[in-house]
Every structure is written in C-alpha cells, then in structure tokens.
Structure 1
Amino acid sequence: MSPAPGSGPDVWRLPNPTDVNDGTVTIITAPAGGATSVFGSDMARVLDDHTNVRVLPVLGKGPVRNVSDILFLKSIDMGAVAADVPEFYRLQYGIPDITSQLRYIARLYHNEIHVIARSSIRSIFDLNGKRIIAPTDVGFYSARVIFNRLGMTASFDYATDDAKSIQKLIDGEADAYIVSTGKVFQLARNIRNENRALHLVTIPYDRRLQDLYLPTTLASEEYPNLLNPGETIETVAIGMLLVSYNWPENTERYRKVARFVEAFFANFDEFMKPPRHPKWRESSIVATIPGWKRFKAADDWLVARNMTPRPQVADVQQQQFETFVRQSGGQLSSDPAERSALFRQFLQWRQQHGGPPTPTR
C-alpha cells in the first residue's frame, strides 16, 4: 500500500521553496577525488538538516580559480582556497591584496608540497634553473611562491593533467614535478618506479618560508615507491581554508553564510568522527591565518564562547616538536622530567636554527 501524500519521514516531504533558498549555500571545492571534494561532501552530509542549512558542494578547478569564482560567480557562496594563493595573485597578476575582498571561516586541512624528481636531485635548491612541471590549478601557485621566496628560477610547464604531467617526468621531459595536495597523493603513490629513478625531494624549512608554510614530512609508509624503507623527508605544507566573499553585514548573502557558520561550528566535533576524511583532524576553527581576516560571524561565534584564536606559530612549534620526537625514537617519555628536558632541547635548537631540529641522543 502506498503511503498517503505528505506522510512519512520529513526527508521525503516536499520542501517549502522559500526555506530551500534561504538555507542553501554553495561551496566550490576542487576536482573529484581529492580531499577538498570529500570535505565538501562531508559538510553536505553532516550539516543538512532539511530546514535551516543545506550545503551544495560544487566541483571546481582548484584554489586559484576558486578565488575568482567566489568573487564573480553569483551562485557561489564559499570555496576552498590555499593560504598562499594571495601571494600568488600578487606575483602573477600584480594584485597586491586579494584578501581585502575575502574572509576566511576556518582552516580545513593542510596540503603537503610534493616534489618528485630524478635521484640526482637531492633538495629543492637543486632545481634552480631547471624544468619543472607544475599543474596549473594544484601545483603552480605554491611552486611560484616558494621559488620566489627562495630566490630561485625555473622553466615551468603549466600542465592541466596530473597523470600526463607525471608521465612527462618519467619520460625525461622535465626535471621535477611539483604538486600541492593532501597526502597520500594516490597518483604519486601509484607511479611504477621499479628502477628507483624517481624519488620525493626535500624542502627544508627555510626561514624565508616560515611565516606562511608549516613544517611537515613525507614517509616511506606513505610513498613506498618513492622513498626507501624507513626513510622520511622534510617538506612544507600550506593551509586549505574555507573562504567567503567579504559580504556587508546587512546583506542576505552575509546572513546565509552566517547561518552556515553557526551550524558548522556548532557541529564541528562531528567531523572528527569516523568515517569522515582523516584530514579533518588537521582542521581548526580557531586557527589564525597570517595575512587573512576572519569572517565576522565566525569571529563573533568564537568570542561569544571565549574560544581563544590560535596563532600559526603554535601550529609550527607543535609540528616541529612532533618531528623532533619522531627523530628521537618516536615516543614521548612518560617521565615528566625527561619530557621537560626533551622540550628544552627542542626549544634551544629552534632558537639557534629556526627550523626542525635533529636531536642529540
């Protein structure tokens, strides 16, 4: 027997057209398969309550194009943007402060910078003047910023297809391939590298990168085809942000995004639970991002709950200390005195060198 019209769960009831439009927000992510598109799907599932908020993820091109889509597409409310994209806009387009038109809501996760090159290349500094393949939407922007900050030049191939780009590297048509993406990057992990001609290249945590990037590592467990067993290399990571246009407070678009912020922040803990993407553990609603201003409704929500913003320097120190501990043997001692001594050693090294330390044993 068929149910009577209008009966059954609320999800099957026809929505009120006004409510649907009032509560729906769009978030432009990135091509399917990456962490950003999964984050959009997760937000749609967790926050969709059928009455107050509905999230519609939209597949985009990547962080650089997402900025222009947020600024100019009438149907886009928010998008995923890497924290180094504004510097790319300044270098590439001569736009000094694109963030004046944008506001960030939260840090979603970290993109690790992957540099894959032939075994003769030991560090990113060996790529000065070389031929680099950097995918237009998921690699070139970070490569441009990093090379400029390090005083390096390169001949860039602005590829649009990751798989074809990697094949060019394999065929010897470039010296390195650079991409900014969350690990584990499956295309890289799937490279057939039986002769070990290719490997992942170190990016040291140079002082010139430290105000924007975070220190991190790539390990053989993540890329057994590109690193030797037990090998770990240093690289840097950049925050992927959830970003909105800087809507005036008295506008309907501001109110829609503010309604989303209320639901997102109130349900933030739900994103830490399985089976959500594991990179949600890197997300933060309190992180302060250098060079960016927070969306006012997000700032108001945190202030009302006495939630103290966390500066990026705290994230840097924590990640450096975790690297230090791993290099010391992989575990923190349960003895408070030993823990304190290890942390003092870490701070002394950091004060002297400004980068991830190598502990004494």
Structure 2
Amino acid sequence: MARVAVCAFVLSIISSSLPVCGGVAQAQQAQQRAPTTGGPVGNLPDREALNSGTVTVITAPIGGPMSVMGSDMAAVLDEGENLRVLPILGKGSAQNLVDIIMLKNIDMGFVATDALEYVKTEYNIPDIAQRVRYVAQLFHNDVHIVARREIRSLQDLNGKRVFAERSIGLPAAQTIFRRLGIRADIDSQTDPTGGLQKLIDGQGDAWIASVSKDAPIIKGIRNDGGRLHLLDIPYDRALQDIYLPSSFSSEEYPNLVPPGPKVDTVAAPTVLMVYNWPEQSERYRRTARFVNALFDKIQVLQSPPRHPKWRDTVLSAPVQGLIRFKAAQEWIDGASRVQSPGQDGTPAEFRKFLDDRKAQARMSPNEAAKLYSDFLKWQRTKEPR
C-alpha cells in the first residue's frame, strides 16, 4: 500500500507539471515566430521609409482599362523606396468611392463621376464633395444599354425588367432613369455576366453597363437574328451637368449596331479621386509625391505600350462639382499654362459651347459628340509636358 501511495504521489507531481512545461514550450515557440516590430530585418529596406513611399490605388475588375492603367502607374512611376504604387482590384466606381472614404489603407482610386450622385443619395452623404478631391480627369465611361429589339426608346423601359449591377451599371441607371422620369424594375443583385446572360435568354428587357468603348463583354455578345441592339440615350438637358455626348458605331459594335447612323449615348468622366487628406498629414505628403510623379510622366503613360485610354487624359480639365487635390492644382499652376476662358472641358462649359452654336445651326447628338471629341484632341495638344 505504501508503494502504491508513493507512486500515486509521484504521478500527481508529473501530471501537474506537464501543462506548465507544455506552456513554456509553446510560449518559446510563439516567441520565435513573433515578427520583429522594430529595428532592421536582415537586409530588407527600412520599414518606415518603405511605408512612407507607398501609395495604394483601387482600380476595377480585370477586363477594363482601370486595372491595366493601375498596372501602368505601378511600372512607370516606380522609384524604389521613394515611390511605389500598389494597384488594388476593386469592384467598380460606386464601391471605389465608398472605399476611398472608409478604408484606412486606400489612398485613391478610379471613379466615374456619376457614382457621386448615386453614393450621395444611396448613403445619405450630403457633403460627399467635401470628403474627396480629384487629381485628374482620365477618360470617359460610355453608358451602354443593351435592349431587346422591341425596346425602341428609353421610355419603353417603364415597368420593364432591367439588369444594372451595382459595380458597373446601377449608378448610371438610377441617375438617368430618375432624371428622365423612367420607372423600371431594376435588378442590381445579379452579377454583370449573369444579368447579360439572362437578357440573352429572354428573362429581362435590358442590361446597362457604364464602361469604356469596345468592352469585350459587349463585343462578345452573340446576337443571332438581331434580337438585341444598343439603345439610344439622347443628350437631354436633364443629363448635361453630369454627362457628355458620345455615340456607338457599327465599326465598334458590329454585333449590335447596324451599318449606317450611329447610336447616341452619354459618357461620364472617369477621374482619379483621392481622400481629402489634411495638408500637414503624412498621407497628404505621400499622395502629393505620387501626383507630381504622375503629372511629370504623363507623356510616358500616353505612349505605347501603355493603355490607349491614357491618351484621353486631359490633366488640366476641371471636374464640375469637385475640388482638385491641392498638390495637383499647384503642379498645373506651376506649369504656367494659359487657358482660354470657356475651354476647360467640363459638362457645363461644353453645354454652353453647344448652346451658343445651336443658335446658329441645329446639331445632331452625333455632331455634338464629334465636336467634343475634336475639342478634347485640341486640349491634349495644349497640355504642358
């Protein structure tokens, strides 16, 4: 019995010590795995210098110009530890704008300007224009409405089922429909590819996307028998404070536009938008360094092999309703570019430009679109280099 008692006592000591030993071993292993929070790490660059020289740009899903242009910036503007651009794939203009305002690690991003009205209304943010700044107007997103053959005008969409996914179509759909008094049944939950397929399968009446021309998803539509077409969007006065005139041709979309007259549409400027950082903050200084590099190297970005949409960028063109990021405005002012009054490329100025000429000649939307295109080309020849 005594031997049994001794053995039991010894076993109790051993068993009670096991968790302690195990805990010590686990603590030692955790300590070995713990990342170093201060001081140099081998031959890696200095942590603070690396972070202070890095900016993030939120783009859009792969397949459009935004993701490629983000990659272009990462390649062309790279200056090692002094400046590094990290492109991030986003969901589209509306979510990009929300992310710029709310996410801590997002410095700037690509945003089509009609997303401002959508986010302002959807999230009840009356001062949204004070929360962000724009760096430059980059290119335009054209509003595409692919509709059944029976739908001949926007008014025909009253009461009809329309697919307009939040990332690429809903801001344009809500803005245009609300301003033109159209009440459609909008499905914003189905993803863009799924919505387009449902339209093709006869489960809806139209599909809307605000994307750049020659969009692969639209060019790839098999339109056997001409069941679908691109719907006209008139350059109505109710839209002219946000949109500019544009058009589609059969050369651009032979599957949806028959040879002959072009299809009228509208386009929203896409801008590089940044959070309204306080001027004395590190994030402001970091973003200002990026802006100077972007503007200094814009000619490189506008040359092959970079995305051709860079050639639509007009650095000096202001954006109506928004304030330019101060460092960007200072760069433009420093370039000593003299610009004639009324030639700044905003929707309001261009509308006045058109009104002045319509008093002398009635221009069709196609003629207005061509005139605006020529106007932008002229502006680009005047850009500071």
1:129–1:307 distance in 2 versus 1, CA, 3 Å: farther
For residues 89 and 136 of structure 1, what CA distance do their matches in structure 2 show? 11
* Structure 1 residue 18 displacement after superposition: 3.0
Query: What's the TM-score, normalizing by structure 2?
Result: 0.78
Amino acid of the structure 1 residue aligned with 2:57: I
Kindly indicate whether the alpha-carbon contact (under 8 Å) linking 2:240 and 2:348 is maintained by their aligned counterparts in 1: no
* Structure 1 residue 160 displacement after superposition: 4.3
Aligned to 2:375: none
Match of 1:69 among 99, 104, 109: 99
Alignment deviations for residues 70-114 of structure 1 (CA, whole Å, 9 cap, x no partner)? 112111111111111121123323322312100000112110000
Aligned to 1:22: 52
For residues 159 and 165 of structure 1, what CA distance do their matches in structure 2 show? 9
1:319–1:235 distance in 2 versus 1, CA, 3 Å: farther
Amino acid of the structure 2 residue aligned with 1:228: P
Match of 2:326 among 272, 296, 299: 296
Kindly indicate whether the alpha-carbon contact (under 8 Å) linking 1:104 and 1:243 is maintained by their aligned counterparts in 2: yes
Kindly indicate whether the alpha-carbon contact (under 8 Å) linking 2:241 and 2:348 is maintained by their aligned counterparts in 1: no
Aligned to 1:312: 346
For residues 364 and 240 of structure 2, what CA distance do their matches in structure 1 show? 9
Percent identical among aligned pairs is: 48
* Structure 1 residue 358 displacement after superposition: 6.1
For residues 182 and 174 of structure 2, what CA distance do their matches in structure 1 show? 9
* Structure 1 residue 129 displacement after superposition: 2.5
For residues 60 and 75 of structure 1, what CA distance do their matches in structure 2 show? 13
Aligned to 2:122: 92
Runs of 4+ in structure 1 over 4 Å off: 317-320, 350-355
- SS of the residue aligned with 2:225? coil
- SS of the residue aligned with 2:226? coil
Kindly indicate whether the alpha-carbon contact (under 8 Å) linking 1:207 and 1:355 is maintained by their aligned counterparts in 2: no
Match of 2:194 among 150, 160, 164: 164
Match of 2:317 among 263, 280, 287: 287
Alignment deviations for residues 247-268 of structure 1 (CA, whole Å, 9 cap, x no partner)? 1101000000000011001111
Q: Which has the larger radius of gyration?
A: 2
For residues 123 and 362 of structure 2, what CA distance do their matches in structure 1 show? 34
Aligned to 2:148: 118
* Structure 1 residue 123 displacement after superposition: 2.4
For residues 366 and 301 of structure 2, what CA distance do their matches in structure 1 show? 33
Aligned to 1:43: 73
Q: How does 1:57-206 map to 2 (within 5 A)?
A: 57-206=87-236
Match of 2:267 among 237, 244, 261: 237
- Is 1:349 matched with 2:373? no
Aligned to 1:259: 289
1:351–1:132 distance in 2 versus 1, CA, 3 Å: farther
For residues 189 and 208 of structure 2, what CA distance do their matches in structure 1 show? 11
Of residues 55-64 and 274-283 in structure 1, the stretch that sits farther from structure 2 once superposed is 274-283
Aligned to 2:248: 218
* Structure 1 residue 318 displacement after superposition: 12
Aligned to 2:381: none
- SS of the residue aligned with 1:165? helix
For residues 346 and 63 of structure 2, what CA distance do their matches in structure 1 show? 28
1:179–1:298 distance in 2 versus 1, CA, 3 Å: same
* Structure 1 residue 46 displacement after superposition: 0.8
Aligned to 2:10: none
* Residue correspondences, number: 322
RMSD of Structure 2 on Structure 1 (CA): 2.3
- SS of the residue aligned with 2:144? strand
- SS of the residue aligned with 2:210? strand
Aligned to 2:14: none
For residues 347 and 254 of structure 1, what CA distance do their matches in structure 2 show? 41
Amino acid of the structure 1 residue aligned with 2:346: Q
Kindly indicate whether the alpha-carbon contact (under 8 Å) linking 1:206 and 1:355 is maintained by their aligned counterparts in 2: no
